Amino acid sequence: MSHTLGIRQAQKQKTRQALLDAALGLLEEQSLSSLGLREVTRAVGVAPTAFYRHFRSTADLGVALVDEALGSLHPMVRTTVATPGDERITRAVRLIADHVAAHPAHVRFIARERHGGVQPVRAAIRDQLARFAEEVKTELAKDPGAEGWQDDDLLMLAHLYVDQMLITASLFLETLESPEPSEAERQRVTRIATRQMRLISLGRQHWLDQEP
C-alpha cells in the first residue's frame, strides 16, 4: 500500500512540475495575466480538470513559480553578503551573472511580474524581496562598519543592495537576449554592476557623517 502511495505521490509531483515548466515556457512571450490554464494543460497533455489537483488558479501557479525562482536563492545570498570586503561585491555580481545564464526564464518572469497585473504574484515577489532584505541586513549588521547604525538605516541599505541586485540581473538578461551576445558585453555589464554596487558601499561609509 505504501509503495503504491509513493508511486502516486511521485507521479503527482512530476505532473505538478510539468505544469510549472510548461507555464514558464509559455510565459516567455506573454504575461501571467494573459495565460490560460487550458494553454498550460494542453502543453503538458493533461485534461484541464487535472490542473486543479495542483493549483487553485493561474495566480496560485504564479506564486509557486515565484517560490521556485527565488526561494532557493536565500542561502546563496546570505553566504555572498557574509563575504568580507570588496570580495562581497565581486562575488555578488558573479553570482547574479551565473544565475541569469542558468535560469533566464525565471529571471524574466520575476522582472515582468514584479509590477504585473496579478496581485497575489506581486505580493509573493514583494515578500521574497523583503525576506532577502532582512537577511542582508542581518549580515551587514555584523560588519565593523555597522557600529552606530540604526536598525531602520541598515534595512534601508539592505533594500538598496537587493534592488541593485535586481537591476544587475536585468542588465545581464538584456545582454543574454541581445542579437549577438558576447563575452565582451558580459564583461562590460560586470564592470558597470560592480561600480554601481561600490557606489552604494561608498555612500555607506559616509552615512554617519551626515548632519543629525
- pLDDT tens, residue order, the chain (212 aa): 556 667 788 888 999 999 999 999 999 989 999 999 999 999 999 999 999 999 999 999 999 999 999 998 998 888 888 888 778 999 999 999 999 999 999 999 999 999 999 999 999 999 999 999 999 999 999 988 888 899 999 999 999 999 999 999 999 999 988 888 788 999 999 999 999 999 998 888 888 776 45
Q: What is the pLDDT of residue 204?
A: 87
| pLDDT at position 115 | 93
Q: pLDDT digit string (tens) for 150-188?
A: 999 999 999 999 999 999 999 999 998 888 878 899 999
**Helix/strand/coil for 144:** helix
Predicted local distance difference test score (pLDDT) of residue 10: 84
H-assigned helices in 52-182? 58-70, 74-81, 87-102, 104-113, 119-140, 151-177
Burial of 53 (0-12, 13-18, 19+ CB in 10 A): exposed
Task: Say what the pLDDT of residue 210 is.
Answer: 62
